[in-house]
Structure formats: C-alpha cells, structure tokens
Amino acid sequence: MFSTEFLDLPPLLGASGSVTLPGSKSISNRVLLLAALCEGTTTIHDLLDSDDTRVMLAALRTLGCGVQENGSTVEITGLGGRLGTAPAKLFMGNAGTAMRPLTAALAVLGGDFELSGVPRMHERPIGDLVDALRQLGCHIDYLGQDGFPPLRIGKPNLKLDAPIQVRGDVSSQFLTALLMALPLVATKDIVIEVVGELISRPYIEITLNLLARFGVQVRRDGWQRFTIPAGCKLQSPKVLHVEADASSASYFIALGAISMGVRGQNGIKIQGVGADSIQGDIRFIDAAKQMGARIESGPNWLEVRRAAWPLKAIDLDCNHIPDAAMTLAVMALYADGTTTLRNIASWRVKETDRIAAMATELRKLGATVVEGADFIRVTPPTSAQDWRAASIHTYDDHRIAMCFSLAVFNPAGLPVRIEDPKCVAKTFPDYFETLFSVAQASATHIPVVCVDGPTASGKGTLAAVVAEKLGYHFLDSGSLYRITGLAATRAGIALEVANQEAIVALLRSLPIRFEGSHILLDGEDVSDAIRTEEAGMNASRVSAFPLVRGALVDFQRNFRQLPGLVADGRDMGTIIFPNAPLKVFLTASATCRAERRYKQLISKGIPAILADLRADLEARDARDSSRPVAPLKPAEDAQLLDNSDLTVDSSVEIVLDWWQSKQPFKSA
C-alpha cells in the first residue's frame, strides 16, 4: 500500500495481463456479522482485508466472538444469538457496512452499547434505521445530533406484531440491517414494509442470498414487503468463499476498455468474479459494453478488451450500480460525447458527497460537468490540448482515488496526482500495486530522481527517504559493485583489470535478490558483509573496470518501474539515466564526510580511526573521479547540494521542493 502524502501516476501507454482482486466488502462484512450471530464456527475464505472489515472484526472481538485470522481465511466462532452483559464501546470508523447492521443486531438483542465513528460517519444519516428499530421496541438514543451516530443502545421491549416500516430511498443498508438482525428474534412472522422506492436493490439481493446460505429464507413480495418466517434460525454454513469485489472489478473492466494491449498481449483478465456474480455491481459490465468494451466471462473470471474507440457516450439510470457507476464517470472522459448518469442521489450520502466531488475533480482534468440533485453529466475535454494535469483530491474516499487513476490514459500524456492514496485501504489496499502490475508506461515517462556524489555524502540516506516520500522504488547502485567485489574476492579472483572478463562471467552467474532493505547473494543475506570499509574499497576497484560497468547497465535500468525510481550512485545522472527529470549531485566537505562515516561505523559497533577513514575516502574520491569510464562528476544538468551544514530532513525537503517545482500540478 502507498502511505505517501500523494502518488504521482505517470501517463500510461497501455495495460494487459491478469489480476486477482480482493474479496467483496459487502459480502465480507455481511458474512462476518452473520457468522458472529449464529452458533458454531464458520471458516470464511478470501475475506477482504481492509479498513472496513478490520472495523467489523474488532467490534466482533469486543462483543466476545472467537476470531482466528490466518491470511485471507478467518474462522469466526459465533455468539449463538447471545450477547454478554458487559457494556461495550464500539468504534465503527467510516464503515457503513459495519455501523448499520451492527446497530440493528445489537438493538434487537439489547445490552449497553455505544457506537461511534470518524467525523464523517457522524454526518451519515441513520435516522430511518433508528426509527424502524424504535417501532420494534428497541431502545436507542442519539449521543450527538438527532438522526446521526454516535448512538447508545439499551435493552429493548420487543413488539413484533405490527409490520415494521423502513424507508428504502436513502440507503438500502437500513433494510439489510433489519433483514440480518430480525431472524435473531423471529418467534413469530416478522413483516418489514419498505416505504418509498427501494434503491440499490442488488445489495438487498446479496443480503437475501447470504441469509439463505445461513439457513434463513426470507419471503419477498416485490420490493415492498419482506417476511422473516417464524422460528427461523441462523445456521452456520461451516465454510464459505467470498467472491472478489465486483465494484473493485469495475476499475479493471474500465482499464480493459480504455487501454491498448502491451507486451504482445491484449486485454485484462480478472480473476475471482464472473458475470454470474451475486453482487449487483457486476451489472457494470453491461454499462461498460454499452460504452464499447468487449467482455467475456467464465466461472469466476472476466476478460475485457478495448473494442470501440473513442468510447461511446451513454445516458444511463445507475440506481442498480451506485458504486461502480463512479467508474463510468471517468470512462466518460474518453467518450465521443456527453455521458449522463442518473438516479444517483445516494452518492450524496456516501464517504463524501460523491456527486460534488466527482464534478470538482473531473473539471480539474478539463471536463465540462453539470451536476444535479441526483445526476451528473460529463463532457470530455474537447481535444488533447484541453486536458489539464490535475492533483486529485480524494476526500478519504477510496473510490475517488481508484477511478481517477484511470485518467492516466489521457491523450495529452499528462501525469495524474492522487492525494492521500492510502484511502484505497477501505476496500483495496493494494489497488495501485495491482494497477502497476499490468500497466505499461513509456520508459521515458517513468520518473527517476538521481542522487550522485562522493562516499559518505549522505546519498543513500537521502535517496531512501525521498523514495519513501514519493512512493518510488529505490536503487542503491553502489551495492551492485560491492556485491561484485565481495563475490570476486570470495572466488579468489584478484581485483585487477586483467581479470575483468572473469569477474563479469562471475557477475552474470550471480543470483542477486533484493528483499526490502536486504540483499541476498545466492540466498545468503550479505547486507552487512558488503557494508564494510574494505568492501567499499573493493567496490571502488571493480567499478573502474569498463566491462564490469557495461555488464551492470541494463540491470540498473530495469529498476525504472512504475510509479518511479530514486537511484543513488556515481553515474546515475551521467550514464544510467541521462534523461532523468531530476539529478542531484550531493557533496559535503571531506572532514564532514569522514566524521559521518566514523559515527556511522562506531554506532554499529565497528571500530574505526577517523584519520584512516578520511585518508580512505580521499583515496576513493580520487579513484572514482579519475577513472576513464563513468567518472564521478556532476551531470551537466545536475542540481548541486552541499549538505555539510544541513540535516538529513532539510536536505530531503530541498530535494522534494526541486522535485515539486518540476511537476505540472500545484502541491497537494
């Protein structure tokens, strides 16, 4: 997951390949609650690991459920419809799929509970559910503003005779909450009547489908009246697999529809969900087809290709696919006219006011947008010149972050900045990694920050922090020369230019692996062995051999991967990445560098003598700078930074400012 302040996405050429998507949020949280309410143990496979499911799991633990986690498999030992008597405070974050159903279940079972969430949760309405539960005799008080969380739940005095009325036109989650809770107390038939037009019906279908898996057959008369049969009982299905999230699939369906194939392949294959999914958002495929996607499906998979281009503008009632429809609004940027998405009033009460948010962000990209109470109308930028590079504000809304990533196929070749990219954790923590695994950008569009300079100038430290702040990969090119020196020495090859062919042959056979900050040579962790001063000196020796340098060029260039790279060394800016958009040449006085190295070694418990270190580094500087191949020198377009009197933090800040000044969008 990217936990950076922002993530800059370079313009993409195309995408192809296969992706496996995380489990559905709607199914995961429903199944967790049902498993918690029934008797016995339920093993749930492929459960989504996200903010919302973690909120639910934490609440279930607090309530006394047994929870055993093992990767994406979770075992829940249910409460059998009985709650402990201890008062409990439950924090629901911003998870509507946890807040609403738990409120209903706890209210009918009764106890002493407080349910709260993040500030946005306290702005999301729950009054219609509370009204319905109060008709049943449940005891619920508002602790803040009437109609909104936080809530306190007490003991009920249940009255089950009269039909319970619930509004269906604000959120279908209210009805879902009642449907899942009432089997706990169905000593007689309980009737629920929906007042107003029921929105988001496919989510109710998921609820009914899963209740059936837990042994409860709800009778339904149209979409207005639901009967929980007397004597029904939630029964564990023992084992259950969660489908991949159909709303998450929408981004990859759109990706297949928008992008050209790459690497001789065509299309995006999506594993984990097929066209016969029980999730309503799977109907997104019909809308995508209308816009021009070619989609094939089989058991638990979809394959999507671009067919019509530009995409075809559509006018669609999106009530049945409220979440996935946001993706259509971004696909509309690539359409041949104006797209109108209707009947989406529920967008206004989601993680943020999604109609307003989509309109604002689409306009930043150059689109013309008209918004109404329950619709949005999107006209793409007229021509490539009318597209704008935009920093997309994401409103703590995972779907905004994910759907706007698709703007990277813009014909103007502009990058897109996604602010607060970690908001995708709500449903799809590895969304961007998954996107990058199938996407391709032209190598020149993948940004590289080069940090070159003499030993102990702080290159490694600076480069690693800058990489972390930008969410980029990190290449410590010196480690490659250090490994080469170490391996040659171990193999008994003298580090002399006459032996350079033998050293290169050895280098080509070396199984080198980078695992985070660890470097493995043929399975052995050599991270410490290559850091000694002797290894540094040996590295400096082998690095002067032209054949060794040549053998490492492609290896280093292959680190230029999405979303970007920070590389430190001696020739990053001059030889390896000559077209890098930012090159930093970092220096510090010899005294200063010798002192830094001294402190570094002593702090690691390695004995050192300051005067020797200084002599060694001056010798190394002299060799690195005077060698005929790729000598240590600043690239012509490098920005010089002498950090003798700067802290690490201020050096990082300076480099990030230089980076920002080269971006086409304003800072986040």
Ligand X SMILES: Nc1ccn([C@H]2C[C@H](O)[C@@H](COP(=O)(O)OP(=O)(O)O)O2)c(=O)n1
Residues numbered 280-339 forming contacts with ligand X, rule: CB under 6 A: none
Give the DSSP per-residue string, 408-466: GG-TT---EEEESGGGGGGT-TTHHHHHHHHEE--GGGS-EEEEE-STTSSHHHHHHHH
Question: How many residues belong to the site for ligand X (CB under 6 A)?
Answer: 18
Residue among 180 and 451 whose Cβ is closer to ligand ADP: 451
Contact of residue 570 among ligand X, ligand ADP, none (CB under 5-8 Å per partner type): ligand X
The CA-based diameter of the chain, rounded to the nearest angstrom, is 96
Q: Write out the binding residues.
A: 25-26, 30, 96, 124, 171-173, 200, 323, 350, 354, 399, 426, 453-461
Binding of residue 391 to ligand ADP (CB under 6 A):
no
Q: Which of 511, 513, 503, 512 is closest to 551 using CA atoms?
A: 503
As measured in angstroms, the least distance from the Cβ of 460 to ligand X is 6
Residues numbered 630-659 forming contacts with ligand X, rule: CB under 6 A: none
- Each residue 448-467 as x (binds ligand ADP by CB under 6 A) or -, in order, gives -----x-xxxxxxx------
CB within 8 Å of 272: residues ≥ 6 apart: 20, 21, 23, 46, 243, 244, 300, 301
Residues numbered 349-368 forming contacts with ligand ADP, rule: CB under 6 A: none
CA distance 259 to 596: 49
Contact of residue 167 among ligand ADP, ligand X, none (CB under 5-8 Å per partner type): none
Q: Write out the binding residues for 3-phosphoshikimate.
A: 25-26, 30, 171-173, 200, 323, 350
Binding of residue 50 to ligand X (CB under 6 A):
no
- The CB-side HSE value for 156 (13 A sphere, CA atoms) comes to 22
DSSP letter, residue 582 = E
Contact of residue 340 among ligand X, ligand ADP, none (CB under 5-8 Å per partner type): none
Q: Write out the binding residues for ATP.
A: 453-461
Contact of residue 583 among ligand X, ligand ADP, none (CB under 5-8 Å per partner type): none
Contact of residue 646 among ligand ADP, ligand X, none (CB under 5-8 Å per partner type): ligand ADP
CA distance 126 to 586: 57
Binding range to ligand X, per CB under 6 A, among 4-12, 51-59, 473-481, 642-650: 473-481
Binding of residue 646 to ligand ADP (CB under 6 A):
yes
Binding of residue 571 to ligand X (CB under 6 A):
yes
CA distance 184 to 289: 42
Residues numbered 427-466 forming contacts with ligand X, rule: CB under 6 A: 455-456, 460
Amino acid at 331: M
Contact of residue 540 among ligand X, ligand ADP, none (CB under 5-8 Å per partner type): ligand X
Residue among 193 and 533 whose Cβ is closer to ligand X: 533
Q: In which order are the strands placed within the sheet that holds 416-419?
A: 6-9, 416-419, 391-392
Binding of residue 647 to ligand ADP (CB under 6 A):
yes
Contact of residue 651 among ligand X, ligand ADP, none (CB under 5-8 Å per partner type): ligand ADP
Binding of residue 482 to ligand X (CB under 6 A):
yes
Q: Which of 366, 338, 337, 370 is closest to 356 using CA atoms?
A: 370
Binding of residue 570 to ligand X (CB under 6 A):
yes
Tokens of 544: 């002067």
Residue among 262 and 601 whose Cβ is closer to ligand ADP: 601
Contact of residue 643 among ligand X, ligand ADP, none (CB under 5-8 Å per partner type): ligand ADP
Alpha helix ranges (H) inside 214-283? 246-258
Q: Are strands 416-419 and 512-515 parallel, antiparallel or unpaired?
A: unpaired
Binding range to ligand X, per CB under 6 A, among 36-44, 92-100, 472-480, 653-661: 472-480
Told to judge if 281 belongs to the known catalytic residues of this protein, a careful annotator would answer no
CA distance 421 to 319: 27
Give the DSSP per-residue string, 303-371: EEEE-SSSBPP-EEE-TT-TTTHHHHHHHGGGBSS-EEEES-GGGGGSSS-HHHHHHHHHHHTT-EEEE
Buried b (16+ CB within 10 A) or exposed e, 196-217: eebbbebbbebbbebbebbebe
Annotated catalytic residue, options 51, 281, 323, 452: 323
Contact of residue 458 among ligand X, ligand ADP, none (CB under 5-8 Å per partner type): ligand ADP
As measured in angstroms, the least distance from the Cβ of 622 to ligand X is 11
Residue among 424 and 451 whose Cβ is closer to ligand ADP: 451
CA distance 337 to 310: 9
Report yes or no: 274 and 297 within 8 Å, Cβ to Cβ.
yes
Binding of residue 540 to ligand X (CB under 6 A):
yes
Tell me the residue ranges of DSSP E strands in 94-218.
Answer: 113-116, 140-142, 151-153, 164-167, 190-195
CA distance 465 to 651: 10
As measured in angstroms, the least distance from the Cβ of 625 to ligand X is 10
Report yes or no: 313 and 281 within 8 Å, Cβ to Cβ.
no
Binding range to ligand X, per CB under 6 A, among 17-25, 70-78, 119-127, 537-545: 537-545
CA distance 180 to 133: 13
Binding of residue 477 to ligand X (CB under 6 A):
yes
Residue among 405 and 574 whose Cβ is closer to ligand ADP: 574
CA distance 565 to 313: 37
Binding of residue 569 to ligand X (CB under 6 A):
yes
Residue appearing with tokens 């995409």: 311
Which of 14, 117, 183, 478 forms a contact with ligand X (CB under 6 A)?
478
Residue among 194 and 463 whose Cβ is closer to ligand ADP: 463
Residues numbered 143-182 forming contacts with ligand X, rule: CB under 6 A: none
CA distance 425 to 184: 32
Binding range to ligand X, per CB under 6 A, among 53-61, 336-344, 435-443, 534-542: 534-542
DSSP letter, residue 214 = T
Contact of residue 536 among ligand ADP, ligand X, none (CB under 5-8 Å per partner type): ligand X
Residue among 455 and 587 whose Cβ is closer to ligand X: 455
Which of 624, 641, 643, 652 forms a contact with ligand X (CB under 6 A)?
624
Q: Which of 58, 96, 79, 75 is closest to 184 using CA atoms?
A: 79
Residues numbered 573-632 forming contacts with ligand ADP, rule: CB under 6 A: 596-597, 600
Which of 30, 426, 614, 620 forms a contact with ligand X (CB under 6 A)?
620
As measured in angstroms, the least distance from the Cβ of 596 to ligand ADP is 3
As measured in angstroms, the least distance from the Cβ of 495 to ligand ADP is 20
Q: In which order are the strands placed within the sheet that holds 73-77?
A: 66-70, 73-77, 41-45, 239-241
390 φ, ψ to 5°? -125, 145
Which residues in this chain contact ligand ADP in the complex, by CB under 6 A? 453, 455-461, 596-597, 600, 643, 646-648, 651
Positions annotated as catalytic residues are 323
Which residues in this chain contact ligand X in the complex, by CB under 6 A? 455-456, 460, 477-479, 481-482, 536, 539-540, 543, 569-572, 620, 624
